[in-house]
Structure 1
Amino acid sequence: MDKFLTYVGGLIGGYALIKVPVEEITALSGLNTILDVVGSLAVIVFGGTLVVRGVLSLLGK
């Protein structure tokens, strides 16, 4: 169960990185594309991991 919560936390964190508001007037405006890429990769990796672990759990392995 601990791994499940870790994977869900990573998935939520990736989604939060995608949705973080970065204003154009701040110094962090250049990081907008980097945050989107890192967030997208996190969602893909942790989402895929949840799917694989779920299938393995259904198969009993």
Structure 2
Amino acid sequence: MTDVSEIPDDTLLERAVRNARSRAHRKGAKHPRWVGVMDAFSLGSTYAMQLCRRFGLEPDEQVNR
């Protein structure tokens, strides 16, 4: 792979969803994964939860900020 354009969009989207974290919460505090996805993609909670599930992630999993 020599160029970012060679990475499939679904792969990039999955990476973003997997690594999304909320900036609104205290540093070191945990929050549900869907909150970070909601913040990162400017979505509502329902769509954020659906996006988590699309990539096999548990929306309510607690993740660090």
User: Normalising TM by the smaller chain, what interval?
Assistant: 0.3 to 0.5
Q: Which TM-score applies when normalising by structure 1?
A: 0.32
From the CA coordinates, give the structure whose radius of gyration is larger. Answer: 1
Ranked by relative contact order (alpha carbons within 8 Å, sequence separation 6 or more), the top structure is: 1
Say which structure is richer in helix. Answer: 1
